[in-house]
Structure 1
Amino acid sequence: MTSAPEQRTAAPARPGPDPSPAGGRPAAPATDADPDRGALRTLLPVLAAHRATTARTFAAALVDQAALVALVTLAAHTVGTAVVERAAPSATAVAALVALVLVRSLATWREMDLSHDLAYRVLAELRIRVFDGLARSAPARIKGRRSGDLAAAALGDVEALEFFYAHAVAQLLSSGMVFGAAAVVLAAVDPWLVAVVLPAAGLLVLAPLLEGRGRAARGARTRRAAADLSAEAVETVDGMRELLAFGALDRRRARLRDLGERLGDAQRAEHAREAAAAAVRDLLVVTAVVGVVAIAGHRLSGAWSAAAMALALGALAPVADAAAALGQAGALRAAAGRVGAAIGARAGAPAPRSPRPAPAGPLGVTLRGVRFDYGAGPVLDGLDLTVRAGETLALVGASGSGKSTCAHLLARFWDPAAGSVELVGAHGDAVDLRDLADDELRRTVAVVGQEAPLFHGTLDDNLRLARPDATEEEVRAAARVCGVDRIAEALPDGYRTPVGERGTTLSGGQRSRVALARALLTDPAVLVLDETTAHLDTAGEAELTAALAAASRGRTTIVIAHRPATVRRADRIAVLEGGRIADTGTWDELSARRGAFARVLHR
């Protein structure tokens, strides 16, 4: 009795202190076809936390470029003096050249060191912000997306921004200042020199700006192709056994080849345009230098002619490099847009402004007037349900009736569009889940689904995921209740045996037992089991249910199940139909009425 409509991805509208756009549903992720023109600008404020390093990086880049321009200009003047005036360079000139070489060497090393240190620190912060955004907006943002695509956004797109932070920002600022100073010197030497250099510099900067949309589109195509290939590769590795079993590996290999070729085509197209842009930049610089040579040859004499040509070239070279950086940064707009969208994702269930503690003692659960939809018609439509403290309630209904949605609301993956979900104490004091801090909620309510993946690590690591500080005896006690101790005994290294990524070395039933033991380790007041025992055979389920009942006296348990034997063991049964509770009672009471419960059993 799983619910197909419950797999839709949109989040509901909801009231609260942090309403989402479009009536509460999360905004659609930015598409790669039309990358946000301001995506890179929105990621500049992250540098604010690294002001000192940013300033030092800019200073090192400024000294590096200024030293280069001064070095080539002084060298040209010295050579011109030696050739035209047949005079040996003075000791002062030689000392200045040596000093400039040393200064530039140190500045280049320092700028590279600082810029990459800054970039990697910023990228580390961006990764954390992306993961925070994905966690904050889960499951609405994650549900339905491929894990390889999420990995591309969380890792690949962030990594691609290294160039922007390591090179583009400091280089653009320092190139502008160095060119301005060089232009002033050229104007002092001869105004006609500036008249030649300025148009070339303007065209160098203007060219990547005019082609910005095309660069962004090509960059978006490359990022999209890389994400598709990543997603397909991850799924192929995860499903290798199934692909081999059904003889589908060759078809999958062909699919990977096609995606690889698509990525290669996108990369070649991007690199070809970059090569053409580089040729245009070189042509502009050469044209400007030729113009300077022509003017200097007619209007200047002696060593200053060579020095003016070198100064013009030295001033334009950083501008050309900055234009190249600007162009490459434009191609990163799609990656920046995806990173920015993940960082700025709205919370599906925002944190309370003034958190309240959960009531003390055993807790009941009340769903009052709950309405909820995934964007395609109501799933819950004014649902009212009360689960008494310490009671085991079985929630049943036809496929699509909203059973798993109730579990999602109790886990506060989403908030209801209307109504409330409350924890009720022994004295009638109630607290809405929206008023609980997340840590408090996770300690109080545990939801275990049918597919509860394990993580790469040992069996003990996976059990301690819920409580890393649990004692060994506490871990072993929870394991005994769920039969995990017998699983550990059969493993070569017991609890220290690696279970493989997603627990692939264990069966589905074993993974369910581990997931349930992990939840019990938190000793929750409310335990929600959403088809958790579906992978167990009838005998194993009966054994586990009996063990849970003995170990969970006083705990409120909500069981979503389709097996009649599981439902029969509950203290009370609630039947979901039409988005509401159609009937409640014991097995015998509901069977005698032959109403909604009978219809569920018949299906």
Structure 2
Amino acid sequence: MSISPTHPLLRCLWLYRKMPWRFSLTALLFLLVNAAMAWQLWLIGQAVQAVHTGEAIKLLADGHYDFSVAWYWIAIILAVAAGRGILQYFAGVLSLIIGQDLLSLLRERILVQVQRLDLAYHLQHGVGEMVTRTTRDADKVRDALINFWRQVFEASVWILVSIGLLCLYNVWLGLGTLAFVLAGIAIFIRQTDQLVTLDRAVGQAYDQVNQELSEGINGVRVIKAFALESSRIGAFEGFVQTFVRHAHTALAYAAVHTPLPQTLVALSQVWILGFGAWLIQQGQLEVGALIASLLVANTLIFRIEPIGRVMQVFADARSSAGRIWELLDESPTIVGGNDSIPKAALGFRLHDVTVQAAGGNAILQHCHLSAAPGEILALVGITGSGKSTLAALLPRLLDASHGSVDIGSASSGWQNVHQFRLDELRRRIHVVPQESFLFSDTLEANLRLARPQASEAELLEALELAAARDVLDSLSDGLQTRIGDRGITLSGGQRQRISLARAFLAHLSILILDDATSALDALTERRVLDNIRRLRDASGQAVTVLLIASKLSTILLADRVAVLDKGRIVAEGQHAYLLEHHAEYRELVGVHHG
């Protein structure tokens, strides 16, 4: 069984195992390219030696020159160079292709993980942070993947090949060059940790810039309504300046510290020239071999000197890869069971439920609440009493810290929501929030999210049930009208009705409306809620409805009302009963006891 490396950047490279044949072919091509380069330089040395000894061009007895040997060396060197060029082209193209494939695989994993993670994780981490990981961080990893082949793998192969060739000429010629190269690389590596630290600070500053930009765009209506443009621009400029300051610090560190190791690598050429000249004087090295050695050193310097910039790229990528794997290594805390939900009518029951906030405070405390199949139950309470938290428990957008959340009925029995598959549970139980979210797509595409196979007649019926046919009639292209980012082209009430129609289309069993009719006028709201009583699930059973309500007109349409106060259900009953016996309820609905 293979074990994935722990270094974040190596873990990205480890994904190449998913494309083994292309990886192996690319590596083989780069090996052949560098072997061909060494062969070419060796041939040049041999040709120079032939010229030096007079074998390349010979004076014949008749006074003419014989260029056959010279032409031989020229032809073979050109042939090797041409072959190396062809191999280099295919190796470069293939490395770019598999690098891009790896980046696509990484981005796909990020998107899948973002969808898998629980709501609690997204509440803790902002949109800007997610965008940064998918864009800036992924781009930096891509740069490292490209440089992996050209500046790491190929440079490493060339070091081995060139040192091997130099050792063929003279062992100390090769070992001395290797010492300078390793010394320079060692200094580069020592600088990497500091570069990673600096880039992590740059990444965090960039998160803030992205978050501020995202909020500035999404909250543009609020900003304009309160004339906050100047203060928001000032805050944004502050985040940008922080980002620029950290970026300048990282660049300055790299600019100051990279020249020393580059100089050490360049000294290898001085070593070859000086020691090689001494070897020639001692008769231990030919002139052609010295020329070939200098060419090898020149190519080595050309490959190694940019390593300062490469190390910076890898330091940036290591930091970015770490941030990406921090996301990818997160595990959802909410995991579904293996059972299928019965097709019978569903009610719900909360038994002794407690939900703890991240800080330890209880949002819900020993809460008991139930609704029979087909019942419409209104839930009321002051802001912050835990109504939305309670609603999120049924489809397991959140989990209770203590107690059980069950679905079923008193006659058929209750079953804990933990034992059911999450996708099926969330198809049968749906929350429509007050803040409706619509995608930047056509009206039809937004509706079909609930049931892709729905017919056009079913789409129109859902719009009718949500009292949204007038919205459809007002759109220029009907169902094919693009409704803009987050439905910005529609009013708040129109967005709510479209969201309701989408939920009605889903053939759900339990519908939770979290103040989802707050933007509707009383007449439209009554039409919608009356139509909800006609809703049926896929098996033809009446839908159970939990109405989280703040308006009296909404509450009056419920069969029963529950009052939530400080995380506890403090009263239950019909509206008239609660109005008569509970002062807290009268205060909530704004009715004074006569």
| TM-score above 0.5 | yes
Q: CA deviation at 1:563?
A: 1.2
The 8 Å contact of residues 436 and 496 in structure 2, kept in 1 or not, is answered as yes
Is the counterpart of residue 564 in structure 1 residue 548 in structure 2?
no
Matched ranges for 1:216-365 at <5 A? 216-276=196-256, 278-299=258-279, 300-321=285-306, 324-352=309-337, 355-365=338-348
User: Given residue 487 of structure 2, which amino acid in structure 1 is its aligned partner?
Assistant: G
**Alpha-carbon displacement from aligned partner over 1:531-573 (angstroms, at most 9, x marks no partner):** 1011222333223222222345711000111112211221111
2:138 equivalent among 158, 162, 165: 158
Residues 1:55 and 2:24 are matched in the alignment: yes
Deviation at 1:455? 0.8
**1:575 maps onto 2:563 in alignment:** yes
Question: Partners in 2 of 1:562 and 1:241 — Cα distance?
Answer: 24
Q: Distance in 2 between matches of 1:234 and 1:318?
A: 42
Which 10-residue stretch deviates more, 231-240 or 369-378? 231-240
- C-alpha contact (below 8 Å) 2:435/2:516 kept by paired residues: yes
Instruction: Please state if 1:208 is matched with 2:222.
Output: no
Q: Which residue does 1:191 correspond to in 2?
A: 171
Q: Deviations over 1:296-316 (max 9, x none)?
A: 011033211111222233345
In the alignment, what sits opposite 1:392?
376
Matches within 5 A, 1:5-84: 38-79=7-48, 81-83=50-52
Could you state the TM-score of these two structures normalised by the residue count of structure 1?
A: 0.87
Structure 2 counterpart SS, 1:368: strand
Paired residues in the alignment total 566
Secondary structure at 2:120 match in 1: coil
1:7 corresponds to: none
- Asked if structure 2 preserves the Cα contact closer than 8 Å seen for 1:379 and 1:401, the reply is yes
Greater Cα offset, 567-576 or 186-195: 186-195
Q: Distance in 2 between matches of 1:476 and 1:372?
A: 40
Q: Would you say the 8 A contact 2:504–2:535 is kept in 1?
A: no
Give distance in 2, aligned partners of 1:476 and 1:602. 37
Q: 2:466 aligns with which of 482, 494, 513?
A: 482
Kept in 2: contact 1:573–1:587 (CA 8 A): yes
**C-alpha contact (below 8 Å) 1:478/1:518 kept by paired residues:** yes
Contact 1:479 1:517 in 2 (8 A): yes
What corresponds to 1:404 in structure 2?
388
Change (3 A) 1:187 1:531: same
How much has 1:171 moved relative to structure 2? 4.5
Q: Which residue of 1 aligns with 2:60?
A: none
TM-score normalized by structure 2?
0.89
For residue 588 of structure 1, the aligned residue among 576, 583, 588 is 576
Q: Partner letter of residue 104 of structure 1?
A: R
Per-residue displacement from partner, 1:316-339 (whole Å, max 9, x unpaired)?
543445564344212222211221
Q: Given the alignment, which residue of 371, 380, 392 partners 2:354?
A: 371
Q: Establish whether residue 87 from structure 1 lines up as the match of residue 56 from structure 2.
A: yes
Q: Equivalents in 1 of 2:341, 2:289: separation in Å?
A: 82
Q: How many angstroms apart in 1 are the aligned matches of 2:184 and 2:276?
A: 22
Distance 1:250 1:583, change over 3 A: closer
- Once residues 592 and 572 of structure 1 are traced to their aligned partners in structure 2, the CA distance between those partners, rounded to angstroms, is 14
- Look up the match of 2:510: 526
CA distance in 1, matches of 2:454, 2:81: 61
2:339 is matched by which residue type in structure 1?
Answer: R
1:461 pairs with one of 442, 445, 454? 445
- Output the CA distance in 2 between the equivalents of 1:108 and 1:280: 31
Counterpart AA for 1:208: F
Deviation at 1:58, TM superposition (A): 1.8
Q: Contact 1:179 / 1:316 at 8 angstroms: preserved in 2?
A: no
How many Å apart are 1:363 and its aligned residue? 0.6
Equivalent residues of 2:38, 2:165 under 8 A apart:
no
**CA gap 1:312/1:149 in 2 versus in 1, 3 angstroms:** same
Match of 2:407 in 1: 423
2:491 matches 1:507: yes
2:510 maps to amino acid: V
Q: Larger Rg: 1 or 2?
A: 2
Which amino acid is 2:84 matched to?
Answer: R
Q: Classify the secondary structure of the residue corresponding to 2:145.
A: helix
For 1:440, the equivalent position in structure 2 comes to 424
Which ranges in structure 2 are unaligned for 5 or more consecutive residues?
58-68, 280-284
C-alpha contact 1:397 1:403 (8 A) present in aligned 2: yes
Match of 1:24 in 2: none
Matched, 1:535 2:519: yes
Tell me how far apart the structure 2 counterparts of residues 140 and 403 of structure 1 sit (CA, whole Å).
16
The alpha-carbon deviation at position 387 of structure 1 amounts to: 0.9
Q: 54-63 or 336-345, which moves further after superposition?
A: 54-63
Provide the C-alpha distance between the structure 1 equivalents of 2:34 and 2:351, rounded to a whole number of angstroms: 68
Q: Relative contact order, CA 8 A, sep 6+: which one is greater?
A: 1
